[in-house]
Structure 1
Amino acid sequence: MIRKSFFVSLCIIWFSSDEVMSVTEGESVTLNTDIKLSGQIEEIVWTHKINNLDNIIAEIKGKNINIYPNVVYGDRLQMDNHTGSLTIRNITTEHSGLYKLLIRNDRALSQKTFTVTVYAHLPFPVISRNCSLSSSSSSERSSVSRLSVLCSVLNVSAVSLSWYKGNSVLSNISVSNLSISLSLPLEVEYQDNNTYSCVVNNPITNRTTHLNTSQTCQERSEPLQNSHLVGITVSVILVLVVSSAVLIYFHQRKCKSAN
Structure 2
Amino acid sequence: MRCYWKSLLFLLTGVSFMKIPTAAEEIVILSGVVGRNLTLPDPVRNSGFFKHGDSIVGRVYPGLFNFMDKNYKNKIHWNSSNGRFTLIDLQHNDSGSYTIDPKNEGTLKTYNVTVYDPALTPVIQRLNGSSSSCLLSCSVDSETNLQIIKDDQTVNETRSKSLPFYVQETDFNSTYQCVASNPAENRTENINVTVWCRKDTSDTTDNLKISILVGLVLLLFGVGVGIGVYCCKRHKRLNHAQEPPTAAQSSNGENHQEELELEPLRQPPTADQNLNHCEAH
Q: TM-score interval w.r.t. the shorter chain?
A: 0.5 to 0.7
Q: Distance in 2 between matches of 1:248 and 1:65?
A: 97
1:19-63 CA deviation, whole Å, 9 max, x = no partner? 132156555314589xx97xxxxxx653324xxxx4431136899
Structure 1 range deviating more: 145-154 or 197-206: 145-154
Q: What per-residue deviation string (whole Å, max 9, x for no partner) do you get for residues 192-237 of structure 1?
A: 2544332233436655554343469652213321331232123212
d(CA) in 2 for partners of 1:236, 1:249: 20
Could you tell me how far apart the structure 1 residues matched to 2:208 and 2:63 are?
84
Equivalent residue number for residue 251 of structure 2? none
Pick from 114, 120, 126 the counterpart of residue 117 of structure 1: 114
Give the match for residue 76 of structure 1: 77
Picking from 46, 51, 69, the partner of 1:47 is 51
- Counterpart of 2:156 in structure 1 is 170
**Distance change >3 Å, CA 63–CA 149, structure 1 → 2:** closer
Higher Rg: 2
Structure 2 equivalent of residue 28 of structure 1: 39
Cα distance in 2 for partners of 1:60, 1:168 equals 47
2:77 & 2:226 partners in 1: Cα distance?
Answer: 84
**Greater percentage in helix:** 2
The TM-score, its normalising length taken from structure 1, stands at 0.54
By how many angstroms is 1:238 displaced?
2.6
Which residue matches 2:211?
Answer: 228
Distance 2:140 2:213 in 1: 39
- TM-score, with structure 2 as normaliser: 0.50
Number of equivalent positions: 207
In the other structure, the counterpart of 1:188 is 167
Cα distance change of structure 1 residues 89 and 244 upon mapping to structure 2, 3 Å threshold = same
Going from structure 1 to structure 2, the CA distance change for 1:61 and 1:117 (only over 3 Å counts) comes to same
The answer to which of 226-235 and 185-194 deviates more is: 185-194
Q: Which amino acid aligns with 1:172?
A: T
1:64–1:27 CA distance, 2 compared to 1 (3 A): closer
Alignment partners' CA distance in 1, 2:63 and 2:190: 56
1:201 paired to 2:205: no
Root-mean-square deviation (CA, aligned residues, Å) is 4.9
2:147 counterpart SS class: strand
CA distance in 2, matches of 1:161, 1:196: 13
* Alpha-carbon distance between aligned partners in 1 of 2:67 and 2:17, rounded to the nearest angstrom: 25
Q: Please identify which structure carries the higher strand content.
A: 1
Aligned twin of 1:243: 226
8 Å Cα contact 1:161-1:200 kept in structure 2:
yes
What's 1:58 paired with?
Answer: 58
Contact 2:49 2:56 in 1 (8 A): yes
Residue of structure 1 in register with 2:265 after alignment: none
The Cα of 1:148 is off from its aligned counterpart by: 5.5
Structure 1, 21-30 or 145-154: larger mean CA deviation:
145-154
Uncovered stretches (5+) of structure 2, i.e. residues with no partner:
1-15, 243-281
Say if 1:127 and 1:211, in contact at 8 Å, map to a contact too: no
Question: 1:163, CA displacement in angstroms?
Answer: 0.9
- 1:97, distance to aligned residue in structure 2 (A): 1.8
Conservation of the 8 A alpha-carbon contact between 2:50 and 2:56? yes
Query: In the TM superposition, what is the alpha-carbon distance from 1:164 to its structure 2 partner?
Result: 2.5
